[in-house]
């Protein structure tokens, strides 16, 4: 008889939870206007994903 338990995790990519901005330019009435815009909205609720597993088994010798 055997019993095993395992747990593994996977972290989200670095900075995935952060909101980031990038510079941009737009033309308004013939003039160039500098501004910033969201380049990634991020997700502040991100957590590492985990998985668990339980294995139960029985080993027996059959026919010899």
Per-residue model confidence (pLDDT) at position 21: 86
Give tens-digit pLDDT for 11-60: 888 877 788 888 999 999 999 999 988 887 777 788 888 999 999 998 88
The pLDDT assigned to 64 comes to 63
3-state SS class at 59: coil
Token output for 7: 């747990």
Q: What angle do CA 55, 59, 64 make, to 5 degrees?
A: 160
**What is the phi/psi pair of residue 25, to 5°?**
-125, 145
In the numeric block, the tokens 């055997």 are attached to 2
pLDDT of residue 43: 79
The closest alpha carbon to 41, from 19, 60, 9, 15, belongs to 19
């Amino acid at each position: 008889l055997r019993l095993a338990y395992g747990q593994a995790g996977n972290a989200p990519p670095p900075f995935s939870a952060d909101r980031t901005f990038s510079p941009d330019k737009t033309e308004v009435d013939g003039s160039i206007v500098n501004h910033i815009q969201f380049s990634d909205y991020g997700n502040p609720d991100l957590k590492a994903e985990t998985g668990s597993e339980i294995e139960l088994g029985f080993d027996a010798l059959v026919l010899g």
